[in-house]
Amino acid sequence: MLAYDTLLIKDGGRAARGIMDFSLSEEQQAVFDMARDFGQAEIAPHARAWEEAGTIPRELWAKAAELGLGGIYVDPDHGGSGLGRLDAALVFEALAMSCPSVGSFLSIHNMCAGMIDRYGSAEMKARLLPGICAMDRVMSYCLTEPGSGSDAAALRTRAERAGESWRLTGTKAFISGGGYSDGYIVMCRTGGEGPRGISAIVLEDGAKGLSFGGLEDKMGWRAQPTRQVQMDGAEAPLENLIGDEGRGFAYAMAGLDGGRLNIAASALGGAQAALEATLAYMGERRAFGQTLDQFQALQFRLAEMETKLQAARVFLRQAAWKVDTGARDATKHCAMAKMFVTDVAFEVANDCLQLHGGYGYLADYGIEKIVRDLRVHQILEGTNEIMRVIVARSLLEARG
């Protein structure tokens, strides 16, 4: 066993009981500390090397799974931790303080695990979830296509019944873990046009007809191998359909609330790490006879960044609490939190780079990597422009 506190494998604390509290319980603080300590010990020392290699050693996932991080939302009966969205936000904020890219990859795996736990049949749960929670089976999520990003309901990938199998044909784009993961949740069309024709099917690595594009050369998140997932009659057993046929788009949209929280939490953790590094740097770097932190103008910059991150943290945790308590406006708050937190986090990280001067542009200081990694958080899980659409529609519907 690893020498970290395993308090993660508990219920969701006060969040699960519906009590709003601006402080963390002892258990929640222990969850955050455990994830932060794990990241600092097992991820941070290797983050730059993994980025250069363009992959994450699979040995890391076994260690993460020992702490219950392989099935954060999954019922303990299937090997999961049975936690809520607030707990997950704490985990992914803490992990991102070591590397937003690695932490976010784990978030995607957990989104897949949560979808199977929530909507899969009893047989599917028993067959797949123990391996997923142990991270013997790493999962990726396939929604986006070359011709359908924000307009996800326009996806073209099809699945046809063929005897005892589904045969999937189409291409998925920007897939984190493409060619690396052991399984893929594929959103595909089993019916007519529109969202009601979409289903979710688990496609396993090695399936006949499954192949992958070349490794994408990305600005950030470079530790995550990202490829197209290409299906040419790729075969999956009929029992790999998640839930009901034609309900896949609804499952995907429900999962995106949590995914947006996690992406925001990861951005927050990365920005917090950048701010802490900047505070240390400004206490050491001297100019004009004093350290940078003694210039009032720069102190104001620090104060502004701290205020932004604290506001973002409260907003994020409120949105997570709304999901945990089943609030009617949870989707709107997740969209607002994702938009606000990721925008603020990128601004703070970019300001931290500026305060480092030329050193911030060098890889040795780690700030430029955070800036590159956090840029995509404003795009993933629905662009921040789409978040504004969701919020505006919610306001107009409420008015009506």
User: Catalytic amino acids?
Assistant: 381
**Token output for 165:** 């199998």
Amino acid (one-letter) located at 197: G
CA dist 228 to 6, 88, 173, 174, 189, Å? 36, 28, 5, 6, 18
The dihedral of CA 315, 320, 321, 322: what is its sign? positive
DSSP per-residue letters across 332-351: HHHHHHHHHHHHHHHHHHHH
Coil, strand or helix at 111: helix
From the CB of residue 95, how many other CB atoms can be counted at a distance below 10 Å? 30
CA dist 24 to 20, 86, 240, 272, Å? 10, 10, 39, 18
**Beta-sheet strands, E only, within the chain:** 139-142, 158-162, 165-176, 183-189, 198-204, 210-212, 226-237, 286-287, 290-291
Listed in sequence order, the residues at least 6 apart from 110 whose beta carbon sits closer than 8 Å to its beta carbon are 69, 70, 71, 72, 73, 88, 262
Task: Report how far residue 342's alpha carbon sits from residue 330's, in angstroms, rounded to the nearest whole number.
Answer: 18
Task: Report how far residue 217's alpha carbon sits from residue 52's, in angstroms, rounded to the nearest whole number.
Answer: 11
Listed in sequence order, the residues at least 6 apart from 317 whose beta carbon sits closer than 8 Å to its beta carbon are 86, 89
**Token output for 327:** 């609030």
